[in-house]
Structure 1
Amino acid sequence: MTKYVYFFGGGQADGASGMRNLLGGKGANLAEMTSIGLPVPAGFTITTEVCTAFYANDRQYPAGLIQEVSEHMARVEQLMGKKFGDRTNPLLVSVRSGSRASMPGMMDTVLNLGLNDETIRGIIDQSKDPRFAYDSYRRFIQMYANVVMGLKGDILEDIFEELKEDRGVDLDTELTADDLKQLVGLFKNKVKETLGTSFPENPQDQLWGAIGAVFGSWMNPRAITYRRLNNIPATWGTAVSVQSMVFGNMGNDCATGVAFTRNPSTGENLFFGEFLVNAQGEDVVAGIRTPQPINMAGGDGSLPSMEEVMPESYAQLMTIQQTLEKHYHDMQDIEFTIEKGRLFMLQTRTGKRTATAAIRVAVDMVREGLISQKEAILRVSPEQLDQLLHPSLDPKAEKQVIAKGLPASPGAASGEVVFYADEAESAAREGRKVILVRIETSPEDIHGMHAAQGILTTRGGMTSHAAVVARGMGKCCVSGCGDIRVNYEKELFVATGGVTVKKGDMLTLDGSTGQVMLGKVPTVQPELTGDFGTLMGWVDSVRRLKVRTNADTPHDAKVARNFGAEGIGLCRTEHMFFDAERIMAVREMILAEDLEGRTNALAKILPMQKSDFLGLFREMKDLPVTIRLLDPPLHEFLPQTEAEIVDLAKVMKVPPQTLHAKVDSLHETNPMLGHRGCRLGISYPEIYDMQVQAIIEAACELVKNEGFSIIPEIMIPLVSHVNELAVLRKNAIRVADEVIARYAVKVEYLIGTMIELPRAALTADEIATEAEFFSFGTNDLTQTCFGLSRDDAGKFLPSYVDQEILPEDPFVAIDQNGVGQLIQIGCEKGRKTRPAIKLGICGEHGGEPSSVIFCHKVGLDYVSCSPFRVPIARLAAAHAVLLED
Structure 2
Amino acid sequence: MHSDGAPHMLIPNETDGIARIQPDAGVGSWAHGERAADLQRLVDLGLPCPVTIALSCAKVHEIAEGLRFNPAGVVNEFGPDPLMSVQPSSGQRSWGGPRAFHDVGLNAATHARMARLLRRERADRRRLAFILRYATDVACLDAESFETAGRAADPVATALAIYADEAAEPFPEDAGLQLSRVLSSMAKAWEGVTARLLRHAQGAPLDAGLGLLVQDNGWAMTRGEIALIQARMFDPITGRQRINGQVRIRGRQARDTAPDPAGDTPKDTGKDTGHSPAQTGARITGTAEEGLETGFRDRAPDAFYEIAGVLETGRGGFREDRDYDMALTDRGLLVLDARPATSSARVALNNAIALVEAGVISRDDALLRIAPPALAGFLHPQVTPDPDRKPLFSGVAASPGGATGTIVFTPDAAAACAAREEPCILVRRETNPEDIRGMHLAQAIVTERGGMTSHAAVIARGLGVPCITGASSVTVSADKARMTLRDGRVLCEGDRLTIDGTNGEAYEGEIAMTPPDTDASFQEFMSWADAARDMGIRANADTPEDAALARSFKAEGIGLCRTEHMFFEPSRLIVMREMIFAGSEQDRRAALDQLLPMQRADFTALFETMAGLPVCIRLFDPPLHEFLPADREGRMNLAQSLDLSLTEVTKRIETISEFNPMLGMRGVRLGLMHPEIYEMQVRAIFEAAIEAGEAAGTRVEPEIMIPLVAGRSEVRLVKTRIDSVAAAVRVATGKDVTYRLGVLVETPRAALCAAEIAEYAELLSFGTNDLTQMTYGLSRDDASRFMKSYVQQGALTLDPFETLDFKGVGELIRIGADRGRAANPTIDLSICGEHGGDIDTMAFCREAGFSYVSCSPFRVPIARLSAAQLAIRSRME
Scaled to the shorter chain, the TM-score interval is: 0.7 to 0.9
Match of 2:93 among 84, 102, 105: 102
SS at 2:708's partner residue? coil
Matches within 5 A, 1:339-378: 342-378=332-368
Residue 241 of structure 1 aligns with an amino acid whose one-letter code is L
Corresponding position: 1:432 with 2:432: no
Superposed CA offset, 1:622-664 (max 9, x none): 1011111111222211122233323333444443322212211
Matches within 5 A, 1:152-163: 156=143
User: Equivalents in 2 of 1:150, 1:766: separation in Å?
Assistant: 72
User: 8 Å contact 1:713–1:751 — kept in the other structure?
Assistant: yes
User: Equivalents in 2 of 1:95, 1:81: separation in Å?
Assistant: 19
User: Equivalents in 1 of 2:622, 2:785: separation in Å?
Assistant: 23
Matches within 5 A, 1:670-709: 670-709=660-699
User: 8 Å contact 2:248–2:290 — kept in the other structure?
Assistant: no
CA shift for structure 1 position 753: 0.8
CA shift for structure 1 position 110: 3.2
User: Equivalents in 2 of 1:182, 1:882: separation in Å?
Assistant: 64
Superposed CA offset, 1:306-362 (max 9, x none): 546766654433221221012111111222344565433222233222111122112
SS at 2:202's partner residue? helix
- 2:23 aligned partner: 12
Moved more, 402-411 or 534-543: 402-411
User: 8 Å contact 2:837–2:854 — kept in the other structure?
Assistant: yes
Using a 3 Å threshold, how does the CA distance of structure 1 residues 246 and 473 change in structure 2: closer, same or farther? farther
User: Equivalents in 2 of 1:844, 1:455: separation in Å?
Assistant: 18
CA shift for structure 1 position 833: 0.6
CA shift for structure 1 position 289: 9.6
Matches within 5 A, 1:38-49: 38-48=47-57
SS at 2:705's partner residue? strand
User: Equivalents in 1 of 2:472, 2:708: separation in Å?
Assistant: 32
- 2:571 aligned partner: 581
User: 8 Å contact 2:831–2:853 — kept in the other structure?
Assistant: yes
User: Equivalents in 1 of 2:105, 2:698: separation in Å?
Assistant: 81
Residue 733 of structure 1 aligns with an amino acid whose one-letter code is D
User: Equivalents in 2 of 1:595, 1:98: separation in Å?
Assistant: 71
- 1:551 aligned partner: 541
Corresponding position: 1:463 with 2:453: yes
Superposed CA offset, 1:270-315 (max 9, x none): 233334344899769999899xxx999x998899955467666544
- 2:276 aligned partner: none
User: 8 Å contact 1:246–1:339 — kept in the other structure?
Assistant: no
SS at 2:453's partner residue? coil
- 1:80 aligned partner: 78
User: 8 Å contact 1:42–1:76 — kept in the other structure?
Assistant: no
CA shift for structure 1 position 186: 5.4
Residue 856 of structure 2 aligns with an amino acid whose one-letter code is S
- 1:226 aligned partner: 202
Corresponding position: 1:33 with 2:5: no
CA shift for structure 1 position 5: 2.4
TM-score, normalised via structure 2 length? 0.87
Residue 109 of structure 2 aligns with an amino acid whose one-letter code is R
Match of 2:215 among 243, 250, 261: 243
CA shift for structure 1 position 132: 4.2
Residue 338 of structure 2 aligns with an amino acid whose one-letter code is T
Using a 3 Å threshold, how does the CA distance of structure 1 residues 236 and 767 change in structure 2: closer, same or farther? farther
User: Equivalents in 2 of 1:757, 1:150: separation in Å?
Assistant: 61
User: Equivalents in 2 of 1:690, 1:111: separation in Å?
Assistant: 75
- 1:446 aligned partner: 436
- 2:4 aligned partner: none
User: 8 Å contact 1:27–1:241 — kept in the other structure?
Assistant: yes
User: 8 Å contact 1:843–1:865 — kept in the other structure?
Assistant: yes
CA shift for structure 1 position 552: 0.7
User: 8 Å contact 2:601–2:688 — kept in the other structure?
Assistant: yes
SS at 1:517's partner residue? strand
Superposed CA offset, 1:815-853 (max 9, x none): 222222222222111111111101111100111222222
- 1:827 aligned partner: 817
Corresponding position: 1:537 with 2:509: no
User: 8 Å contact 1:4–1:49 — kept in the other structure?
Assistant: no
- 2:233 aligned partner: 261
CA shift for structure 1 position 872: 0.5
Match of 1:660 among 638, 650, 665: 650
User: 8 Å contact 2:146–2:162 — kept in the other structure?
Assistant: no
Match of 1:213 among 189, 193, 202: 189
Superposed CA offset, 1:516-553 (max 9, x none): 11112122212222111111111111111111101111
- 2:628 aligned partner: 638
Residue 595 of structure 2 aligns with an amino acid whose one-letter code is I
User: Equivalents in 2 of 1:857, 1:760: separation in Å?
Assistant: 21
Alignment gaps of 5+ in structure 2: 1-12, 170-175, 251-255, 268-283
Match of 1:414 among 385, 404, 411: 404
CA shift for structure 1 position 482: 2.6
Match of 1:502 among 492, 497, 501: 492
Corresponding position: 1:853 with 2:864: no
Matches within 5 A, 1:510-529: 510-529=500-519
User: 8 Å contact 1:407–1:511 — kept in the other structure?
Assistant: yes
Matches within 5 A, 1:471-510: 471-510=461-500
Using a 3 Å threshold, how does the CA distance of structure 1 residues 690 and 304 change in structure 2: closer, same or farther? closer
CA shift for structure 1 position 236: 5.3
SS at 2:100's partner residue? strand
Corresponding position: 1:122 with 2:119: no
Corresponding position: 1:379 with 2:377: no
Using a 3 Å threshold, how does the CA distance of structure 1 residues 2 and 254 change in structure 2: closer, same or farther? closer
- 1:273 aligned partner: 245
- 2:180 aligned partner: 204
Using a 3 Å threshold, how does the CA distance of structure 1 residues 192 and 467 change in structure 2: closer, same or farther? farther
Moved more, 760-769 or 234-243: 234-243
SS at 1:664's partner residue? helix
Superposed CA offset, 1:357-390 (max 9, x none): 1221122211111111111111222111011110
User: Equivalents in 2 of 1:845, 1:811: separation in Å?
Assistant: 8
CA shift for structure 1 position 244: 3.1
User: Equivalents in 1 of 2:136, 2:300: separation in Å?
Assistant: 34
User: 8 Å contact 1:718–1:755 — kept in the other structure?
Assistant: yes
SS at 1:353's partner residue? coil
User: Equivalents in 1 of 2:470, 2:263: separation in Å?
Assistant: 34
